[in-house]
């Protein structure tokens, strides 16, 4: 079958790599793709948020199945347009994508389904929001309600930091995403990423991971889109997975169906686990990046079969065949990220890296020019490895990092520290 993946990041490179392992894929197009994706698939220079452009490409390339990678096309209703045109699509409707597009909406779903989550309040004006912060004290969490590319969450350890976040959000630092804010209690515990495929009725767990959001070693520095991850997450025991499914995922999905907006696609639950009790931090409606790189290396060819089953409403027939293995990905980012950074710097050593089912370099912000890979974004590459133990995956991933020469980039040296310290 002819398959189209929408997106241009490391997540989409990982999805493309996994899809190509499956013999069902005859032709793969990625729109718009990046320098690394262009080495394995056909890239199409269109805006993935533009439904008309996507539909034109689907017709031109006789596409049978579309996988939507990032959140922006989902929030823009691209999945709806594709389904209306009769195209098999993996990804939720615009209405169901509100689970990520609006923090307030997610809180309403949690309230209606009794899913455990942080206590919260919503505000569309700065003064009452600041009064609430002064009343509650710090630490406290301030979130832009809308999509902010993973950067609209401020974990404020002081009242002053929380008040400054309010000024930033209502001052336009996150554009329209900050027109409304959600202020939450600060949850203590260990964070985990939990991924579930849904077809509107059935919910099937497909993996756990742990992300590293802070820019620098020791979980220091500003929040980023993610500097590395590993899978599985030890904190997500079988008992906690079952509890998460029964108390959070299934009730949320039932509430979405009750509202007439059943969820189909991948549901990414960001969790905080303390004393064996998971609480929902937030929902995302797409695979995490960089967690997806770990998951796809572990899932391989079956990832396509699972996504097809979700799109066709056949998840009740499916099971996930996990090897007893571990994966780790280490992100290399441009110096200065998540602030301002230089573009166009040369990354050396990528062509010599292994490309196997155990070691892959997934590209995010790159382009190929005059035989060289140039950095075009903040998070640029994700060096990903799989092993029989997390220690083995860690050693392989960091060996790949060491083989890259890019003075204008940096990476954390402690990915996986929580699991490895034991």
Q: Compute mean pLDDT per 10 residues along the chain, 422 residues long, and list them.
A: 97 98 98 96 97 98 98 96 98 96 91 93 91 92 81 87 91 81 92 96 96 92 91 95 97 96 96 94 94 96 98 96 93 95 96 94 95 95 97 97 97 92 70
- Supply the pLDDT for residue 150: 65
| Strand ranges, E, within 51-169 | 65-68, 88-90, 120-123, 140-144, 153-156
Contact criterion met (CB below 8 Å) for 353 and 359: yes
Q: CB neighbours of 253 closer than 8 A, spacing ≥ 6?
A: 198, 203, 262, 263, 267
3-state secondary structure of 308: helix
End-to-end CA distance of the chain: 45
Residue 300, CA distances (Å) to 18, 42, 87, 209, 243 in order: 5, 20, 24, 16, 27
| Strand ranges, E, within 2-104 | 2-7, 27-32, 42-43, 65-68, 88-90
- CA-based angle 322:328:332, to the nearest 5? 145
Among 391, 63, 143, smallest CA distance to 55 is for 63
Phi, psi of 127, deg, nearest 5? -60, -50
Among 30, 89, 21, smallest CA distance to 364 is for 30
Counting Cβ atoms within 10 Å, is residue 208 exposed (0-12), middle (13-18) or buried (19+)?
buried
Question: Which residue in this structure is represented by tokens 């398959």?
Answer: 3
- Supply the pLDDT for residue 421: 81
Q: How far apart are CA 274 and CA 116, in angstroms?
A: 12
Q: What's the pTM?
A: 0.93
Phi, psi of 309, deg, nearest 5? -65, -40
- Supply the pLDDT for residue 309: 98
- Extract the tokens encoding 144: 């832009």
- Supply the pLDDT for residue 139: 94
- Supply the pLDDT for residue 147: 79
Phi, psi of 216, deg, nearest 5? -120, 165
């Amino acid at each position: 079958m002819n398959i189209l993946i929408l997106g241009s990041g490391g997540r989409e490179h990982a999805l493309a790599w996994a899809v190509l392992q499956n013999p069902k894929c005859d032709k793969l197009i990625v729109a718009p793709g990046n320098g690394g994706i262009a080495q394995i698939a056909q890239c199409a220079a269109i805006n993935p948020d533009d439904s008309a452009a996507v539909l034109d490409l689907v017709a031109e390339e006789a596409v049978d199945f579309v996988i939507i990678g990032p959140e922006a096309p989902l929030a823009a209703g691209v999945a709806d347009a594709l389904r209306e045109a009769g195209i098999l699509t993996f990804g939720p409707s615009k209405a169901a994508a509100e689970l990520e597009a609006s923090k307030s909406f997610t809180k309403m779903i949690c309230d209606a389904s009794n899913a455990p989550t942080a206590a919260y309040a919503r505000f569309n004006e700065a003064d009452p929001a600041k009064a609430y912060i002064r009343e509650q004290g710090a630490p406290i969490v301030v979130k832009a309600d809308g999509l902010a590319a993973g950067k609209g969450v401020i974990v404020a350890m002081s009242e002053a930091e929380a008040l400054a976040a309010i000024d930033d959000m209502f001052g336009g630092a996150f554009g329209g995403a900050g027109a409304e804010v959600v202020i939450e209690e600060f949850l203590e515990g260990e964070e985990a990423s939990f991924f579930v495929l849904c077809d509107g009725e059935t919910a099937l767990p497909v993996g756990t991971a742990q992300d590293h959001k802070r820019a620098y070693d020791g979980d220091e520095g500003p929040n980023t889109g993610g500097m590395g991850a590993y899978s599985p997450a030890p904190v997500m025991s079988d008992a906690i997975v079952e509890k998460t499914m029964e108390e959070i995922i299934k009730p949320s999905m039932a509430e979405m169906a009750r509202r007439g907006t059943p969820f189909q696609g991948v549901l990414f639950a960001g969790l905080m686990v303390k004393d064996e009790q998971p609480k929902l931090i937030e929902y995302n409606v797409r695979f995490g990046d960089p967690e997806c790189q770990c998951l796809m290396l572990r899932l391989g060819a079956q990832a396509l079969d699972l996504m097809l089953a979700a799109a066709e409403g056949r998840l009740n027939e499916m099971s996930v065949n996990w090897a007893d293995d571990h994966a780790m990905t280490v992100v290399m980012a441009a110096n200065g990220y998540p602030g301002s950074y230089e573009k166009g710097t040369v990354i050396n050593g990528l062509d010599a890296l292994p490309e196997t089912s155990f070691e892959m370099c997934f590209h995010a912000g790159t382009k190929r020019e005059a035989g060289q890979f140039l950095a075009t974004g903040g998070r640029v590459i994700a060096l990903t490895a799989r092993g029989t133990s997390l220690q083995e995956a860690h050693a392989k991933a960091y060996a790949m990092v060491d083989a890259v020469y890019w003075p204008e980039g940096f990476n954390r040296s402690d990915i996986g520290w929580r699991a490895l310290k034991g």
